A and B are shown apart, each in its own frame.
Chain A
Amino acid sequence: MYKNGLSYAGVVSLLLLTHASMLGIVLVRGNYESPKDLIMLACAVLGLDLVGIIASLCYRQMTYTLDLMLLGILNMSLIFQSCFGGVHLSVKFLITCVASLISCEIGFLLTRNHEWIRHQKKYIYLVIGILIACILLFTGGRSMWITFKGFSIQPSEFIKPCYILVCAASIVELHKKIKVTFFYVSPDTLCVLGATLVIFGLQWWCRDLGSLPTFAAVFACAVVCRFCYPRAKISKTWIAVAAVCGVLVLLAAWKLAPAYVQERLHVDIWADQYGSGYQQCQALIGIARGGWLGLGPGQGNLHKVFAYESDIVFSTICEEWGLLYAGIAVLIVLIMLTTVLMNPPKSYYHATMTAGIVAAFVAQMSLNIFGSCNLIPFTGVTLPFISQGGSSLVTCGFMVGMLKAGQSPLFRHKAEKLREDAAAELPSLPFLHKKNSRKSLGNTPQNRRPKV
């Protein structure tokens, strides 16, 4: 449990104050028809805050900052999403936020024990296989979406945490190598490489190239962590070969990219304002129209543009809330990712997992924000935590749970049993038998240890 209760209360107060100030802006500057809409929104936001805070206190953990930040960002997003095109509570987004918070706790509980997860690798591969089979069987052609009675999910989003988990869980098995023809290779590395090729191939086939950089960033982090892992004994030659292969793959992807991707790489959005550059033009105009302080919640025009709540959500927020507020909201997400650096993970499993998650979030945020601002080609990926989309938010929640697991890992599994075993084997351990340590010091160390 958090030891300094006063500091925790201070952070919680500021969290509530942050949301209250946002609701204050909606009250004064918002575009709403009746106060009922605003009251419903306020009740939902503050209620979710209180429920989240109370729920996070219900069980013991070492870190609460990630919980609080997730709660803060999700409720900020709820206010943003509820104000687009006029203030009204977005019930769908509220339900998604609750699902995301639950998913965070599930992710935390499932991934905190590195020994346990190492033995569950086959099930993680199985889940990836099932998700890929679902995409191939139920999406109906080269698509990533499964639609059923107006309800749609994107299974490829759920592959992300699974892929990060297999990359992380396999790292500690790197020293176990088998000889294949002339080379000693790690079976786990081969499995991860196989999974990577299958996932990348699927993305390519489904024409979901926007998600490819995110997976590539996770893969790159996993490779770097493997190079840093001392027991892997990877030579400089292999590192050089991997670097050359990476460059070759990038060049091949650049050359072999489909026509519509090539077009996006070289499109002049201002020359084709009402064609392929429409969304980006409107997004940039929206940012300029909003200025530093924005037009006011619900006062913008970008809600008339396609994917205003997902792909160009940053511009929509800029237009209504101002560049200053949108920038700080993104900064809050970045701070959440950097807080994990203050407490470096204690195992390579948690380190690889943390690095992969941070890389995935940063890549996705960069693609969305810089794509909206026409600094890079527009890809159409969601902005983590802020864009609307159930699959994306639930996955983000799960990944924050994994980050939390890296901060509050479980190393003392079956500790008592192990201690008992050790005590039976080494009856003199002074730190195991504090009460009897004086007695045992006299005889056993000398019996057990020769003089050196």
Chain B
Amino acid sequence: MKELWELISGLEVPDLILCAAAVLILDLFAISIIFAANRESRLCQKRWEKVGSGVALRFQDVSYPLSADEILLGRHISADIRLADPSVSRYHAVMTVTGGIWSITDLGSKSGTFVNERQVQHAKLIPGDVIRLGSVQLLVTDHAGGASAHRKPPQKKSAPKKAAAPKRAAVRKTQPQKKGGRKHV
């Protein structure tokens, strides 16, 4: 045993090769971690869609997946779903999810928040509900546009100027998604 140990410790492995091998393994570990983290992020996204019940908002054939637990609807530039219509308040309403159920809360807007033409301060939402903020109507759908199977898409009361692209915050990304585009799993 002692002789074997002396043999091992007496081996002259060039330092460069030894260190290069160790550094290479460390690099491989780092790279594999990055790939694993990327895979996990997709897994977390799928889980989030389960948590959020895969609900989205549709406005003029553009679908906005609700990608965070709190979504601000309003005219302000910082809103997650920005509705550039004068009848919409800057901070009009906020949508939140708890236990897989989305709800909407009015933030003291001037023109009020209506769910299925009933004015509400706070209301739970399900796919197929129609939200009206001022003169802008939004349809609550699932990601696959499932609500259209239950109800017809709402007609706009008066066309707003333009639904601006949602804000890309550091926290969340509410990407608009064309109907019939790539489905979220």
Contact = CB atoms under 8 A, between A and B. Distances in A.
Contacts, number: 200
Given A21-B25, A348-B70, A419-B99, A231 B36 contact: no
Given A14-B29, A348-B70, A65 B22 contact: no
Nearest to B154: A452
A12 to B, nearest CB: 10
B34 to A, nearest CB: 7
Interface in B130-156: 130, 132, 137, 142, 150-151, 154-155
A149 interface: no
Looking at chain A, what size class is its interface with the partner chain? Answer: 35 or more
A425 B171 contact: no
Contact of A324 (B18, B23, B97): B23
A328 B26 contact: yes
Interface string A95-132: 00000000000000000001100000000000000000
B127 interface: yes
B170 interface: yes
Nearest to A115: B98
Nearest to A329: B26
The interface residues of chain B, by DSSP majority, are classed as: mixed
A328 B23 contact: yes
B18 A65 contact: no
Contacts of A445: 128, 150-151
A297 B129 CA distance: 67
A175 interface: yes
Nearest to B125: A426
Nearest to A15: B29
A449 interface: yes
A237 interface: no
Contacts of B43: 2-3, 62
Contacts of A347: 68-70, 171
A328 B30 contact: yes
Contacts of A214: none
A418 B26 contact: no
Contact of A431 (B22, B53, B79, B171): B53
Contact of A335 (B33, B70, B118, B172): B33
Contacts of A18: 22, 25-26, 29
B171 A422 contact: no
Contact of B116 (A65, A114, A322, A450): A450
B120 interface: no
Interface in A290-345: 293-294, 322, 324-325, 328-329, 331-332, 335-336, 339, 342-345
Given A8-B36, A348-B171, A230 B9 contact: no
A231 B99 contact: no
A343 B44 contact: yes
A51 to B, nearest CB: 19
A328 B151 CA distance: 57
The 5 closest A-B pairs by CB, nearest first: A418-B99, A343-B41, A339-B37, A230-B72, A449-B116
Given A21-B22, A346-B69, A445-B128, 12 more contacts: A27-B8, A28-B9, A28-B18, A115-B98, A230-B78, A230-B91, A230-B167, A348-B68, A407-B40, A414-B99, A422-B124, A431-B53
14 contacts: A3-B43, A10-B32, A11-B33, A21-B26, A29-B15, A62-B44, A63-B44, A65-B40, A230-B74, A343-B37, A431-B142, A449-B130, A452-B130, A452-B137
